[in-house]
Structure 1
Amino acid sequence: MALDGAWTHGQTVVNDVRLHYVAAGEEDDPLVVLLHGFPEFWYSWREQLPALADAGYRVVAPDMRGYNRSEKPPGVGSYRTAELVGDVVGLIDRFGDSSSARIVGHDWGGLVAWETAIRYPEVVDQLAVLNAPHPAAYRRELRRNSDQWRRSWYAVSFQLPLVPEALLGARDCAGVGRLLRETANPGTFDEDDLRRYREAASRPGALTAALNYYRAALRGNLRREIREWLGFGGRSAVVDAPTLLIWGERDPALVVELTEGLDGWVPDLRVERLPEATHWVQNDRPDDVTERLLAFFGE
């Protein structure tokens, strides 16, 4: 392992994939797993890592499969939800002193966190999700809310082969930096932050792997919709774990209605909305997010 300030870097193999991770805190402390979103990497948790460790937690923030220094298995199928969830379960088994952990996820990491709690409730002690919709609520809003359809155009465009890679990857992933800069509050990401994100996305195969999350998800959702239309029903989407949903209300991609009407799926839920925060909520308002996470975990 290499030491980098308040944390260490390492690599491990779980679920047949090699993942790079950053860890902080004592090995026998309660485990917290931090899952980043698109187009980020472990660095998106740089403010929360030392704070959670100082509060007495063992914190592990992986580069999710395909991102930055983690392995990039080929093919869209390698990024199916089942595989992403399997990575999280493997990390909990690898780093936890028990068979469960607290899970925090943002954006795509939040979607994977939701699905982990739904599919493997026994491994999730507490769940915290930042600007990522519960999957059933997202389908609900797509069906009834034209504004959410309009905001989701980018996910549809990502289904095209090669074109998104060309647009985002040109000039050393300038499009990635532009996406972060133009959708966050002014000053959220400085030039060093943007350089780091561009470098991570520029690693061979990283951009295609990140886009394959969207491609695999759409194919899986279409299959689910067809099964439900044919009358085969669907699996339960209930989350048993105590859950905190933190939501930056200035999110250009997700409507705030996604935070409403969740009781049937998430019985033990607290929603914390941050009116001045954007989609990049733990970067826009790092102290507010950390404070809420610590209060929630301390209950």
Structure 2
Amino acid sequence: MQALQGTIVPDGVTSRFLWVNDLHMHILEAGERSAPLVLFLHGFPELAVSWRKILVPIADLGYHVVAPDQRGYGRTTNGNGSAPTVDFEDDVHPYKVLNLVKDVVALAFALGYWQAAAVVGHDWGSHIAGYCALVRPDVFRSVVMMSMPMPGPPSLPFDIGPQESPPITFSIFSQSARDQLAKLQPPCKYYISYFAGPSANDDMLNAPEGLHRFLRAYFHTKSADWPINDPHPLQSREPTELAKLPHYYMMPLDATMPEAVAPHAPSEEEVALNKWLTDDELAVYVAEFQRTGFQGGLNWYRGLQPQYFHELAVFAGRRIEVPAMFLSGRQDWGVFQTPGALQKMSREVCSRMDEEDVVLVDKAGHWVQQEQPEEVVRHIGRFLGKAFSTTIPT
């Protein structure tokens, strides 16, 4: 596999490979390799290049910045050179949260660091960054979680009597939840259970309108460019409340993801006005996912199923004790898709998250680091400057 080249890789950013865990991992990096390390973890359906507008400005603040193509994505491959997964029937265990955290720990060590000044994650990367800080605070000395609040590890029943049972909660993977959503008018299904299912990869890879147009519509509808995005807190996880989410989260029951977003695709005029994701930049995503498919990233959603996710309850009650920040776009429904998660994260899960470090950036939706990169750099730079008045050891 070749290093990434072309205009999407800014001057000052290097594309290279190194061995990490069981992966031949592709990374983008900038800054002096002797400087404190900051890791950037992308989400779905993204790549290391999603941080292209962030890497050099953060490096210029005095950091060694590294953004990997994570497990199942882009140019990162298995040790034998094959893509980490291409089939829904492949083993899910490598995509469980703790193994994804191990990938990040192994990346820091492979780069020659016992500690990283910060781990920064967006979307799915936010979830993994949060667990990095929760599980290995000795390695990750601060954390920035973007666009996906971390509600903490699964809970265990506390101080219950011998005849009592744990409370039953609404689970997005349960048949009961699916039945309740299907009975709504109009009938719905939740995108996470769809992404964890067997058809999502083929649906998206073979979208009737083509992969380029599908990804354009998907990125558009989750951005501040789509005027329908006016997020607000939901009152509960009841199906009637979740049904208020837009179609890219709460999908029409019989729709594929391409069918869910196609009616809201941008016009040619809107595409021409888009400066944060030009057609040439989007073409890089299209080429990479056309080559690898989406199943590697979709396996992360499969890893959320209870039989895999509940092992994280071993950390029940544990808090993130390092300095923490949450940063998102103000027009991002991801902030509120899990009712109460934002408040729980800032008040309970993180012991060192200051009020000023819960930031919603104006004129940005879900892709905040691409839509408003200058603001993201400003806030991350402020946070790191406050968290570290002295140099972090390498």
Fold-level similarity (TM above 0.5): yes
The one-letter amino acid of 1:175's match is F
Does residue 296 in structure 1 map to residue 307 in structure 2?
A: no
Partner of residue 266 from structure 1, selected from 341, 345, 350:
350
Q: Secondary structure at the match of 1:100?
A: coil
CA distance in 1, matches of 2:4, 2:291: 20
Partner of 2:52: 46
Partner of 1:31: 37
Residues 61-100 of structure 1 mapped to structure 2, 5 A cutoff: 61-71=67-77, 72-74=83-85, 75=90, 76-100=92-116
From the two aligned structures, give the one with the greater helix fraction: 1
Post-superposition shift, 1:221? 5.9
Whether the 8 Å CA contact 2:37–2:66 is kept in 1: the answer is: yes
Whether the 8 Å CA contact 1:24–1:60 is kept in 2: the answer is: yes
CA distance in 1, matches of 2:288, 2:106: 23
Partner of 2:200: 164
CA distance in 1, matches of 2:119, 2:309: 27
CA distance in 2, matches of 1:70, 1:61: 12
* Alignment length (residue pairs): 287
Cα RMSD after superposing both structures: 2.8
Whether the 8 Å CA contact 1:92–1:101 is kept in 2: the answer is: no
Whether the 8 Å CA contact 1:100–1:125 is kept in 2: the answer is: yes
Partner of residue 297 from structure 2, selected from 210, 213, 219:
210
Partner of 2:281: 193
Q: Secondary structure at the match of 1:28?
A: coil
Residues 85-124 of structure 1 mapped to structure 2, 5 A cutoff: 85-124=101-140
Q: 1:245 to 1:152 in 2, by over 3 A?
A: farther
The one-letter amino acid of 2:319's match is V
Partner of residue 329 from structure 2, selected from 240, 248, 251:
248
The one-letter amino acid of 2:214's match is G
Deviates more, 1:211-220 or 1:2-11: 2-11
Cα deviations by residue, 1:172-192 (Å, 9 ceiling, x for unpaired): 464333211222133232212
Deviates more, 1:215-224 or 1:185-194: 215-224
Cα deviations by residue, 1:67-103 (Å, 9 ceiling, x for unpaired): 0101133432221111110110011112244433311
Cα deviations by residue, 1:86-126 (Å, 9 ceiling, x for unpaired): 11001111224443331100001111101111111111111
5+ residue gaps in structure 1? none
Q: 1:69 to 1:37 in 2, by over 3 A?
A: same
CA distance in 2, matches of 1:55, 1:65: 28
CA distance in 2, matches of 1:218, 1:145: 9
Larger radius of gyration: 2
The one-letter amino acid of 1:286's match is P
Cα deviations by residue, 1:144-170 (Å, 9 ceiling, x for unpaired): 899xx9898111111221x11122101
List 4+ stretches of structure 1 deviating above 6 A: 149-152
Partner of 2:218: 179
CA distance in 2, matches of 1:215, 1:145: 14
CA distance in 2, matches of 1:104, 1:122: 16
Post-superposition shift, 1:194? 1.8
CA distance in 1, matches of 2:154, 2:216: 27
CA distance in 2, matches of 1:79, 1:158: 14
Whether the 8 Å CA contact 1:18–1:70 is kept in 2: the answer is: yes
5+ residue gaps in structure 2? 78-82, 156-168, 182-187, 226-273, 387-394
Post-superposition shift, 1:40? 0.5
Q: 1:83 to 1:152 in 2, by over 3 A?
A: farther
Whether the 8 Å CA contact 2:14–2:28 is kept in 1: the answer is: yes
Whether the 8 Å CA contact 1:137–1:258 is kept in 2: the answer is: no
Q: Could you state the TM-score of these two structures normalised by the residue count of structure 2?
A: 0.66
CA distance in 1, matches of 2:4, 2:84: 25
Deviates more, 1:210-219 or 1:169-178: 169-178
CA distance in 2, matches of 1:26, 1:260: 37
Partner of 2:192: 155
Whether the 8 Å CA contact 1:259–1:271 is kept in 2: the answer is: no
From the two aligned structures, give the one with the greater strand fraction: 1
Q: Could you state the TM-score of these two structures normalised by the residue count of structure 1?
A: 0.86
Whether the 8 Å CA contact 2:151–2:342 is kept in 1: the answer is: no
